[in-house]
Amino acid sequence: MNATTPYEKLIADKLDKVPVPDMADTIWAGIEAQLDVVTGTPAKKPLLKGKGWYIFTGVTVIVALLLVLWYKGHKSHAPKNTPVPKQQPAVNGVQPAKDSIKPGRIIKPKAAAPSAPGVIKAPPVAGKDSVLLNQVINNDAAPDSISQQTLPPVKTDSPFVQSLTLPAPVFNPVITRPKGKKPKGVKGITSDDYKISVQKDSTKKGN
């Protein structure tokens, strides 16, 4: 069984002499096509193998976390970075509410140079950044009034809380006045109303 028999050797010799069919061109066409396909399209290598996949996943997660943290931080800082409305200078010009300023006067926001009262500096045509004084004055509150009074009164349960908590001030650039120096003393009483007089000495005995 483990050795070839003589007739098998004869068969092998005969098979070597078998005439081959003339299919060389047909077979070559198939070979060429397959080789062209192979060379035309490079074999796709997997992008990541083994540990590379884990590293990629880890880096992706870290980058995603950093992006989320950056976004949250950016969002929380965003209100601080918003510029203060530039209408404030226009209000500053109205602050004194002097009688000498006539309605219809146009005040430029950055016009800080002092001028004689009643002098119209700018032409009556309002620019983009200009504010008409009459509009501002109409919106202006009385000097003694508190703009926060427009808010409903806060109801508190205990006097302790009442004394500690104050309503949060609402900033309205149009009607809120900038903090200036408060007038001292009682309104309506001037220094002329006070009289200094000499009284009896209370330290003397016998009074």
Residues that bind another protein (CB under 8 A): 1-2, 4-8, 10-12, 14-21, 23-24, 26-28, 30-31, 34-35, 38
Least distance between another protein and beta carbon 19 (Å): 7
Q: Which is nearer to another protein, 33 or 137 (CB)?
A: 33
The Cα diameter of the chain in Å comes to: 167
Tokens found for residue 101: 């300023």
Q: Which is nearer to another protein, 9 or 72 (CB)?
A: 9
Least distance between another protein and beta carbon 54 (Å): 33
Least distance between another protein and beta carbon 46 (Å): 20
- Cα(197)–Cα(199) distance, rounded to whole angstroms? 6
- Nearest 5°: the CA angle 81, 151, 141 is 85
Q: Which amino acid is present at 207?
A: N
Q: Which is nearer to another protein, 29 or 126 (CB)?
A: 29
Q: Which is nearer to another protein, 28 or 56 (CB)?
A: 28
Residues pairing with 132 in the sheet: 106
Least distance between another protein and beta carbon 61 (Å): 40
For 186-198, b/e burial (b = at least 16 CB within 10 A) is eeeeeeeeeeeee
